[in-house]
Structure 1
């Protein structure tokens, strides 16, 4: 049974239930768990999604193996700037937990947002290209509800993708390197359990750092009926913004780019935690989500899906 057939059947059944005893159609809620579960199942069963998660899981393995080979003769890897990925790399040989921080720092600038851009860009445009969008808009879906469910599904993928990277890094780090007490950027030490909690908190912050990208991709997805065009445009915008964020002459604009505070998660490895940039990052992501989420809603509400 095709997706369109399932939606039609669900629309007929729930459409009858939505009528009151007086024959009037009751207002439809903006959220239904059944539609959300259906979107999750469809998204995570796609071979493209599985491939993206596989690539993300492979990155920490490649980094861990490379560090292991590089240090097999007893040498060490030099650290870079304070709080950045290279500084974490220098600690991997002493504690495999630092591979989690390194992997997240390595995947956040490109791999993670690219994966989110692909999923978000295909959310609406892919349905339009496949010819299933018009069926999804039949009761009990509706445009606003469908858009909310699509965005919630994309945010769930943000969390899943980040946890895949963190879990793969933790497993690889445990296999290749010793585990033990964690030395923070500030030079203090914490137990392995506390370090593991910090790693989980960092993963959650990284996932939250992608909600702006998800909203941007969803908006782009409402502008076209081509899933490939939406995905390519979203990924292209991601690359362009990050290039602009590296141009010194544009320093006045840098704080307004959604990627500018991405690596602020390293401040969670300070003692005490430095919250300023972390809060700025979350505020910026919320702003992008509000602006592009509203733009997606306005565009999708006026979109002619029958054209």
Structure 2
């Protein structure tokens, strides 16, 4: 009997039959796996594109040049007791080149590069006319926001590690290397010092995550990436200026830059985790608030390009 005859008889043809529950469940699991794998693929693509750009490598190169300039200046002049923290210790131990470079980079250079990357997340795609293609399935708007933020966080890790690694290498080449005397007066081995340097890099990465969320939100407000980049960098400077005004003492603990230089606690013995905990909690608050604002804005935004 043909399919049409079965249909006339009130029976469901085999090729139009409703799949059994087990088949539907298997299909749902496969779809979820496909979406999950698509999310990781999108993140991998985002990171790959980021590190294929000349702009990214130019910014990382500029960050690596800062400890190089510091080391050369100290080598030529013989050092000075004035200047950034740890500068006077460089001549006796080259590892302090990395510590000094991180102190120098945190207030301006790292926020500037993060502002460029975060401000370009969504606005850059819109300006290139590729945003509408990214928000369709299987990406979606929420997943795209998460991937863009994760990519910005990866750049934070790369930037902090570049400064620390470049400072360590140039310090080893130009100055003697040995056990490090901490701020508390205790001397630790080089292995311990390297571990503390990694902890400081981790602290700085956590410090910049709130700024990443702010930049992501600003990037959803415009199709001009330069505007979002500039606004993110300016907010970082304004926050630090406000943090220096004694008249605003009550506001200081709420500023996202308030704990940026608190990593000195990792150079004490024993290590104090108070600043790290306070900083992580503050950055989490900024991530939640500005992440929610970015989601609210981006999910209701008319995407025309």
User: In 2, Cα distance between the equivalents of 1:242 and 1:305?
Assistant: 34
Kindly indicate whether the alpha-carbon contact (under 8 Å) linking 1:30 and 1:145 is maintained by their aligned counterparts in 2: no
Pair 1:120–1:20, CA change in 2 (3 A): farther
Q: For residues 29 and 258 of structure 1, what CA distance do their matches in structure 2 show?
A: 32
In structure 2, the gaps of 5 or more residues are 1-22
Is contact 2:38-2:138 (8 Å) kept? no
Match of 2:241 among 227, 240, 243: 243
Q: State how far apart, in whole Å, the 1-side matches of 2:259 and 2:166 are.
A: 24
What is the aligned residue count?
280
Partners of 1:199 and 1:232 in 2: CA distance = 30
* Contact 2:38 2:139 (C-alpha < 8 Å) held by counterparts: no
Question: Within 5 Å, which residues of 2 pair with 1:96-115?
Answer: 96-115=94-113
Q: Following the alignment from structure 1 to structure 2, what is the Cα–Cα distance between the partners of residues 197 and 29? A: 34
* Shift, 1:275, TM fit: 2.1
Matches of 1:258 and 1:287, distance apart in 2: 9
Equivalent residue for 1:15? none
* 1:52 maps onto 2:96 in alignment: no
C-alpha offsets along residues 79-118 of structure 1, whole Å, 9 cap, x if unaligned? 67xxxx42x1111111111111111110000100110111
Partners of 1:112 and 1:161 within 8 A in 2: yes
- Larger C-alpha radius of gyration, 1 or 2? 2
Q: Residues of 2 paired with 1:294 and 1:256: CA distance?
A: 18
Can you list the C-alpha shifts for 1:52-80, whole angstroms capped at 9, x where unaligned? 11110101100111111110xxxx52167
What is the correspondence of 1:1-307 to structure 2 with a 5 Å cutoff? Answer: 26=31, 28-29=35-36, 32-71=39-78, 76-78=79-81, 85-86=84-85, 88-306=86-304
For 1:274 and 1:132, the matched residues in 2 are separated by 46
CA shift digits 1:215-261 (9 cap, x unpaired): 00000000111111111111111111111111121111111111111
8 A contact 1:182–1:191 mirrored in 2? yes
Structure 2: distance between partners of 1:232 and 1:251: 27
Kept in 2, the 8 Å contact 1:31–1:145? The answer is: no
CA distance in 2, matches of 1:60, 1:256: 31
SS in 1 for 2:44: helix
User: TM-score, normalising length from structure 1?
Assistant: 0.87
Change over 3 Å in CA distance of 1:20–1:37 after alignment to 2: farther
TM-score (norm. length: structure 2): 0.87
Structure 1 residue 283: Cα displacement = 1.0
> In terms of mean alpha carbon deviation, does 108-117 or 41-50 score higher?
41-50
| Cα pair 2:95 2:168 within 8 Å, conserved | yes
Q: Is the 8 A contact 1:20 1:26 kept in 2?
A: no
Deviation at 1:34, TM superposition (A): 0.7
SS in 1 for 2:122: helix
